[in-house]
C-alpha cells in the first residue's frame, strides 16, 4: 500500500518530533502493510530543501523496513496564491495535496484551483470529510467532474474526528467522491493497525475492487503520473 499523506518526517511540523519517533512509525507502517510513503509535511517557506535533506537521512532506515520514501508536501489553501511553483507528491508528477482549512469553497478558491490546473498541476484535496458536509455535495461533485481528487483519512472511518465526520466520509464514498484513503499520520498511533482495519472495513462495505483501487491502484497511478 502507498500512503500518500503522512507527517512521518521528523522535526519539521506537528508530526513526528524526532528521528527515533520516525523510525518507530516506519516499523509500525511496515506491520500495517505500507510499502511506500509520500512524506507530506505542512508547507512553510524553505521547506523543500529541509524535506530533501531529512528524507536522505531517513531513507536507509526506511529500506530496512522495506518502505520506499517519496517527497511531498501539504499546502494550506492560503499558501497557493503565494507560490510560483508547487512541491508535488512523489516529485515526478504534477499532483499536489491541498488542505482547504475552511469549511466552505468560494469562487475565489475555485478560480485559484483552476488557475493551478491550467499550469498542469493536478489537485488532491486532503480530508474534505473533515471540513465539508452534505450541503456541499453539489460543489464537491463539480470539483470531481473538474478532475479534482479527494483523499479521505483512514482515521475518519474509525471515528477519530467524531461521528459527523465518520458519517460524511461514508457519504462521500457512496457518492463516488473518494479517490484515495491515507493515514495523515502524525504519530505512532496512526499506524498501529489503523490502515489494515480501515482496509478491512472498506472492503467489507464497498467491495474488494474498490478497496484495492483506493489503497493500491490509484496511488500507484498517481505516483506514475498516469491517473
Taking CB atoms, the residue at the shortest distance from Fe ion is: 184
Q: Which of 3, 184, 190, 211 binds Fe ion (CB under 5 A)?
A: 184
Total residues in contact with Fe ion, by rule CB under 5 A:
2
CB of 187 vs Fe ion, minimal distance in Å? 12
Identity of the residue, 8 or 58, whose beta carbon is nearer to Fe ion in the bound complex = 8
Identity of the residue, 3 or 32, whose beta carbon is nearer to Fe ion in the bound complex = 3
Q: Cell 467524531 identifies what position?
A: 162
Q: Which residues are 76's β-sheet partners?
A: 99
Torsion of CA 149, 155, 159, 164, to 10 degrees: -20
Question: Which of these segments, 51-59, 129-137, 163-171, 180-188, binds Fe ion (CB under 5 A)?
Answer: 180-188
CB of 185 vs Fe ion, minimal distance in Å? 9
Residue 63's CB is within 10 A of a number of other CB atoms, namely: 12
Within 57-76, which residues bind Fe ion (CB under 5 A)?
A: 74
Identity of the residue, 194 or 210, whose beta carbon is nearer to Fe ion in the bound complex = 194
Distance between CA 143 and CA 120 in Å, rounded?
Answer: 16
CB of 36 vs Fe ion, minimal distance in Å? 17
CB of 106 vs Fe ion, minimal distance in Å? 22
Q: Which residues contact 18 (CB under 8 A, 6 or more apart)?
A: 10, 11
Give me the 71-100 binding string for Fe ion, x by CB under 5 A, dash otherwise: ---x--------------------------
Identity of the residue, 50 or 203, whose beta carbon is nearer to Fe ion in the bound complex = 50
139-145, Cβ contacts within 8 angstroms, sequence gap of 24 or more: 139/105, 140/172, 140/175, 140/177, 141/175, 141/177, 143/105, 143/110, 143/113, 144/176, 144/177
Identity of the residue, 74 or 129, whose beta carbon is nearer to Fe ion in the bound complex = 74
Contact between 3 and Fe ion by CB under 5 A: the answer reads no
Residue 18's CB is within 10 A of a number of other CB atoms, namely: 10
Q: Cell 528524507 identifies what position?
A: 55
Task: Find out whether 181 and 152 touch, Cβ atoms under 8 Å.
Answer: yes
Identity of the residue, 3 or 184, whose beta carbon is nearer to Fe ion in the bound complex = 184
Provide the binding-site residues for Fe ion, judged by CB under 5 A.
Answer: 74, 184
Amino acid at each position: 500500500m502507498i500512503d500518500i499523506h503522512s507527517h512521518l518526517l521528523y522535526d519539521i511540523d506537528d508530526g513526528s518530533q524526532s528521528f527515533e519517533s520516525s523510525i518507530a512509525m516506519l516499523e509500525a507502517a511496515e506491520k500495517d502493510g505500507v510499502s511506500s510513503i509520500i512524506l507530506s509535511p505542512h508547507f512553510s517557506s524553505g521547506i523543500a530543501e529541509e524535506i530533501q535533506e531529512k528524507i536522505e537521512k531517513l531513507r536507509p532506515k526506511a529500506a530496512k523496513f522495506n518502505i520506499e520514501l517519496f517527497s511531498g508536501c501539504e499546502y494550506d489553501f492560503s499558501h497557493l496564491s503565494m507560490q510560483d511553483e508547487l512541491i508535488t507528491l512523489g516529485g515526478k508528477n504534477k499532483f499536489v495535496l491541498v488542505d482547504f482549512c475552511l469549511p466552505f469553497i468560494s469562487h475565489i478558491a475555485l478560480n485559484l484551483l483552476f488557475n493551478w490546473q491550467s499550469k498542469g498541476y493536478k489537485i488532491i484535496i486532503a480530508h474534505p470529510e473533515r471540513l465539508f458536509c452534505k450541503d456541499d455535495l453539489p460543489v464537491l461533485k463539480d470539483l470531481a467532474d473538474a478532475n479534482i481528487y479527494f483523499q479521505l483519512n483512514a482515521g475518519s472511518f474509525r471515528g477519530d474526528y467524531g461521528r459527523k465526520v465518520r458519517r460524511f466520509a461514508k457519504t462521500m464514498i457512496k457518492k463516488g467522491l473518494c479517490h484515495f484513503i491515507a493515514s495523515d499520520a502524525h504519530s505512532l498511533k496512526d499506524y498501529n493497525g489503523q490502515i489494515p482495519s480501515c482496509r478491512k472495513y472498506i472492503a467489507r462495505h464497498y467491495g474488494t475492487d474498490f478497496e484495492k483501487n483506493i489503497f493500491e491502484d490509484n496511488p500507484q497511478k498517481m505516483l506514475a503520473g498516469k491517473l
